[in-house]
Structure 1
Amino acid sequence: MIEIPSDLHPDLVPLAFLLGNWAGAGVSDFPGAEKCNFGQEVTFSHDGRDFLEYVSHTWVLDDEGKQVRPLETETGYWRIDKDRKVEVVMARDQGVIEIWYGELADQKPQIDLVTDAVARTAASGPYSGGKRLYGYVKSDLMWVGEKATPEVELRPYMSAHLKKVVTPEEVAEMARNLPDMPDDGIAFFK
């Protein structure tokens, strides 16, 4: 179920499905780069203004699913207008700044994005643009990213399946708001 915080800016209600802490795993595969499985933690948060704050950390996983080393960090800001047009400003630790534009699909929580502008530092390596698709599927967040360089045409390079993370604070809040239940708890289901 998608919850809409009471202090969420009204313009952001269509993006409420993104809010929260997410964690999961995915696959990275692009010519000239190491093919690997990766873990990911993503947070979409808000402070009442008309944007969502986005932070993503990924790390390489070994064959047993254990963290090996950091892979990539992204941070950014997401906005949406009344016509369901989405804009994202994103910075990556690899020395890349991107502006993404896209659209929230009609009648489903899915966002298609494409880069409009890319700025790179000299150390960042080749990159000329990308596409991303984010979707909320059966209470999970899934995404796939495509990437292009001057040498490689646009092609998929990363995808992940993320689940909502419940924090200890959220568990405590749920516990405080539980209805009175009989000692055996079974009556709650009758």
Structure 2
Amino acid sequence: MVFTIPEGLHPDLNPLAWLVGTWRGKGRGEYPNIEGFEFAHEVVFNHDGRNFLNYFSRSWILDADGEIVRPGASEVGFWRVQPNNVLEVLISHSTGITEGWVGTFDGPKIQLVMDQGYSAPSAKIVTAGVRLYGLVAGELFYAYDMAAEGQELQAHVWSSLPRSAE
């Protein structure tokens, strides 16, 4: 895959430049008391020249025929590179949860661990999380393990997303 640094990208973000763009594909999910499901997933990373990436993620629940049944989860956030390949990520969910994540990047591999979380009074309580992002065979691979509502940390959702031509 040919890759160039996006024009106007803040130099601090050069190690994450491979993320910039729109990624679309499908994923799967499961969790105790939630039947396994498939979803369409779109992730967008963009920038405005400052030293952070803007992050947008949205999904749609699919039926057995791959047709959209309803909207799924959506998230917005900011990704900030720190010295020594450290990454700080802030993510807010449409479900009333906001999280701070800290992790590391090594080329096209990103590992994040939830540092702190806030849940609105009507939202579920998420007590731990681990996220993995990586470039695998030219696609954005994403996996999210979660501990919520008294459950142990375990796999929740994962997807593989080709880069959109847009």
2:119 equivalent in structure 1: 120
TM-score normalised by the chain length of structure 2: 0.96
Query: Within 2, Cα distance between the matches of 1:98 and 1:147?
Result: 12
Query: Within 2, Cα distance between the matches of 1:5 and 1:79?
Result: 17
RMSD: 1.0
Query: Within 2, Cα distance between the matches of 1:37 and 1:148?
Result: 20
Write the letter of the residue equivalent to 1:72.
Answer: A
**Structure-2 change in CA distance of 1:104 and 1:50 (3 Å):** same
Deviation at 1:125? Answer: 1.6
Which consecutive residues of structure 1, in runs of 5 or more, have no partner in the other structure?
A: 168-190
Query: Within 2, Cα distance between the matches of 1:53 and 1:67?
Result: 26
| Bigger radius of gyration among the two | 1
Q: How does 1:55-94 map to 2 (within 5 A)?
A: 55-94=56-95
- Preserved CA contact (<8 Å) 1:26 1:160: yes
Task: Please tell me whether residue 147 in structure 1 is matched to residue 149 in structure 2.
Answer: no
Query: Within 2, Cα distance between the matches of 1:2 and 1:54?
Result: 20
Q: How does 1:1-190 map to 2 (within 5 A)?
A: 1-105=2-106, 108-167=107-166
Deviation at 1:5? Answer: 1.3
Q: Which runs of 4+ in 1 moved over 4 A?
A: none
Deviation at 1:95? Answer: 0.3
Write the letter of the residue equivalent to 1:88.
Answer: V
Which consecutive residues of structure 2, in runs of 5 or more, have no partner in the other structure?
A: none
Flag the structure with higher strand content: 2
Deviation at 1:150? Answer: 4.6
Q: What's the % identity of the aligned pairs? A: 38
- How many residue pairs get matched? 165
Flag the structure with higher helix content: 1
TM-score normalised by the chain length of structure 1: 0.84
SS at match of 1:11: helix
Partner deviation per Cα, 1:115-143 (whole Å, 9 max, x = no partner): 00000011112321200000011211001
Query: Within 1, Cα distance between the matches of 2:93 and 2:39?
Result: 16
